[in-house]
Amino acid sequence: MAEQVKVLGSWGSPFSKRVELALKLKCVNYECIEQDLANKSQLLLDYNPVHKKIPVLIHNGKPIVESLVILEYIDETWRHNSIFPHDPYEKAMARFWAKFIDEKCNEGVWKIMWCKEEERGKLVEEVLQHFGTLEGQLKDKKFFGGEEIGMVDIAANFIGYWLGLVQEAIGMELVTRDKFPVLCRWMDEFVGHSVVKPILPPRDELLAIFKARFNATAWEY
């Protein structure tokens, strides 16, 4: 039986793109089934009954959910072009930084985007501290994974591409070249990477959505 790999995803979602990027890096062919998140399909509800969220990787009929869990599965199933370091300690570090990016950096930026005006200052201060930590971790490496893109780079895709659009949408600069030269240099490397570049969602459409959502939120308060 030919191997079946499907991704239930959404064109603008960094979480979907994490899964697609890992599959592309492994040269695994997959079919992407676009989901309407405002009107969830029976397929999505059947394959992710607990969270009802994208992305879902369906491999030979079996669903795997949660993007970081999917990335681990992809690396263990297709073992070539590993996205994790081989050494258990380095692997633990990669897991640590992926979790840090999800829980501190990404979550922090989303909170800034949706918070009340009076809460913004404190949240910005916190998230800048997290980006500082990340800047220190990257140091003089080309990618978090070293010479090639690895697990942490994939987990950081939101910072690599989406963050710039969020900043433009809310009219606030968080990660600037003078304050975060290392992270900004990494962003350039990331979005210019030959496997990353072709799968990034179109800038203008994404920006329009962020602007519309941010204005709707700002309006509520």
- List contacts with a second copy (CB under 8 A): 50, 59, 62, 64-66, 69-70, 72-73, 76-77, 88-89, 91-92, 95-96, 99-100, 133
Nearer to a second copy, 100 or 186 (CB): 100
Minimum distance from CB of 68 to a second copy (Å)? 8
State how far the Cα of 11 lies from the Cα of 34, in Å rounded to an integer.
7
Tokens matching residue 158: 């939101």
Return the number of the residue (88 or 171) whose C-beta is nearest a second copy: 88
Question: Phi-psi category of 53—alpha, beta or left, where left has phi over 0 and alpha has psi -120 to 50?
Answer: beta
User: In angstroms, what is the minimal distance from the CB of 194 to a second copy?
Assistant: 28
- Looking at the Cβ atoms of 98 and 165, the one nearer to a second copy is 98
CB of 182 to a second copy, least distance (A): 17
Compute the least distance from the CB of residue 210 to a second copy, in Å. Answer: 25
22 versus 65: smaller Cβ distance to a second copy: 65
Burial grade of 56 (CB within 10 A; 0-12, 13-18, 19 or more): buried
